[in-house]
């Protein structure tokens, strides 16, 4: 069983062009939030919105997310969730505005920021804005997102080529086929 530190060292060796995470991984991020009646209600609205979106009912999803934002406008995840529904609806401008608000409210850290950077990066990538998308994926990667790390490598052809060459050499070494 590898420790998190061992895994980070191996990742740095085998994926030298991946950004090195400086914070906890997504699964390790524990957002400390005081539970009270308001937070419980907002989480309920968010859950209703997620379920509605999964069923394809974007009107109901957006209604629930709007209620969550109205009840707790300082909560980053409300904007992040609403951005997803807005994006699915085709309101890219509104989605980006909500993602920027989520990043601002989260101070660029934590799970909500990580998800917002990923969503904004995907939107930017789809719009052909490669450099800003790459920057968003790097930020999400540094917050622990494995998906974002993969996007960083995928968007860097040189890194992908180097990783492929290293993988090929290691496989040849393992199988005894490597020759100078």
Please give the mean pLDDT across all residues of the chain.
82
pLDDT for residue 25: 45
Q: Which two tokens stand for residue 17?
A: 């062009």
The alpha carbon torsion through 144, 145, 151, 156 (nearest 10 deg) reads 0
Better-scored residue on pLDDT, 160 or 64: 64
CA distance 174 to 114: 37
Percent above pLDDT 70 for the chain: 76
The ranges assigned to domains in the chain are 36-145
**DSSP per position, 120-154:** HHHHHHHTT-HHHHHHHHHHHHHTT-HHHHHHHHH
In this predicted structure, the answer to whether residue 98 has a pLDDT above a threshold of 90 is: yes
CA–CA dist 53, 101 (Å, integer): 21
The DSSP output letter for 1 is -
**Which pair of tokens denotes residue 53?**
């979106």
Report which of 44, 45, 66, 62 is spatially closest to residue 53, judged by C-alpha positions: 62
Choice between 155 and 128, residue whose per-residue pLDDT is larger: 128
pLDDT tens string 73-93: 999 999 999 999 999 999 999
- pLDDT, position 170: 81
Q: How far apart are CA 98 and CA 84, in angstroms?
A: 9
**pLDDT for residue 47:** 93
CATH topology of domain 36-145: 1.25.40
Residue percentage of the chain with pLDDT more than 90: 55
Greater confidence (3 vs 72) lies with 72
Place of tokens 């807005």: 86
Q: What is the 3-state secondary structure (H, E, C) of 101-113?
A: HHHHHCCCCHHHH
Chain centre to alpha carbon of residue 150: 11
What is the structure's pLDDT at 162?
A: 72
**End-to-end CA gap in the chain:** 34
pTM over 0.75? The answer is no
- Residue pLDDT, tens place only, 10-55: 555 555 545 555 444 444 444 555 778 888 999 999 999 999 999 9
């Amino acid at each position: 069983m590898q420790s998190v530190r061992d895994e980070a060292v191996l990742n740095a060796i085998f994926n030298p062009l991946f950004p090195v995470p400086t914070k906890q991984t997504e699964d390790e991020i524990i957002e400390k939030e005081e539970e009270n009646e308001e937070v419980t209600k907002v989480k309920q609205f968010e859950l209703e919105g997620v379920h509605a979106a999964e069923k394809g009912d974007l009107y109901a999803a957006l209604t629930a997310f709007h209620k969550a934002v109205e009840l707790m406008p300082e909560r980053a995840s409300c904007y992040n969730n609403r951005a997803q529904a807005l994006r699915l609806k085709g309101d890219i401008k509104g989605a980006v505005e909500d993602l920027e608000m989520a990043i601002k409210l989260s101070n660029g850290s934590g799970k909500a920021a990580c998800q917002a950077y990923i969503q904004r990066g995907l939107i930017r990538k789809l719009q052909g804005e490669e450099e800003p998308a790459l920057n968003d994926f790097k930020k999400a990667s540094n917050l622990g997102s494995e998906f974002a790390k993969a996007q960083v490598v995928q968007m860097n052809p040189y890194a992908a080529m180097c990783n492929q060459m290293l993988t090929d050499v290691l496989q040849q070494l393992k199988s005894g086929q490597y020759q100078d």
